[in-house]
A and B are shown apart, each in its own frame.
Chain A
Amino acid sequence: EKKSYDREFLLGFQFIVASM
């Protein structure tokens, strides 16, 4: 199955990663 992600999903990870 193709792994596609919409922008909101991707943007949601920006700050999760930044806080790790």
Chain B
Amino acid sequence: HPLQNRWALWFFKNVRSQPWQCNLRLVTTFNTVEDFWSLYSHVQLASKLSSGCDYSIFKDGIEPMWEDSRNKRGGRWLITLSKQQRHSDLDSLWLETLLCLIGEAFDDYSEEVCGAVINIRAKGDKIAIWTREAENREAVTYIGKVYKERLGLSSKVVIGYQAHADTATKSSSLTKNKFVV
């Protein structure tokens, strides 16, 4: 069952003695439903990764970094998790994120999606969907609403969208939300 896009899985492991880009590795690409599950069943669950590691899944050809031309004008819908949620929610939220991407869950706005990233961090894990154009309010808010619904988040929970240009110039905890849903 072919997917609309070919996707690439990237793995980042923080080795402080090496430059950031040396710690980022392309694992493999896939473009069928079957190959997605084959890959998913062979890699470590996100909750089992050590702190400082990331998984990224991006459309093939887009590198999982702000600097990529397809990302630099974009931003991310950011889900921040408490430490406790690593064991209760992290893996299911990440899988749901992956299913949103490969299934093209955002209808015509799926073309705006670049990829998704999960950061495993001692202070709290993060999951984000990256889109390519932060100024495209209609697309960004549609994606945010569908994503929040797919994650099963309560209407009381607010998630924010941050432009990469803002994140790059500030520490992420201080980055202002461009949109919220």
Contacts and interface: CB of A to CB of B under 8 A. Distances in A.
Best-surrounded residue of B3, B34, B36, B99 (most CB of chain A within 10 A): B99
Interface class of chain A by DSSP: helix
Contact of B150 (A3, A4, A7, A17): A7
A11 B38 contact: no
Interface residues of A, number: 14
Interface in B8-52: 33-34, 36-38, 40-41
B99 A7 contact: yes
User: What bracket does the count of chain B residues touching chain A fall in?
Assistant: 20 to 34
Contacts of B40: 14
Nearest to A3: B4
Interface string B84-104: 000000000000100100111
B33 A4 contact: no
B105 interface: yes
Contacts, number: 49
A10 B33 contact: yes
A11 B99 CA distance: 8
B86 to A, nearest CB: 22
A13 B103 contact: no
Contact of A4 (B34, B37, B96, B105): B105
B41 A17 contact: yes
B179 to A, nearest CB: 24
Contacts of B96: 7
B103 A5 contact: yes
Which of A6, A7, A9, A11 counts the most chain B CB atoms within 10 A? A7
Given A3-B3, A5-B3, A10-B102, 18 more contacts: A3-B2, A3-B4, A3-B104, A4-B104, A4-B110, A5-B103, A5-B104, A7-B99, A9-B103, A10-B33, A11-B99, A13-B1, A13-B34, A13-B37, A14-B37, A14-B40, A16-B34, A17-B38
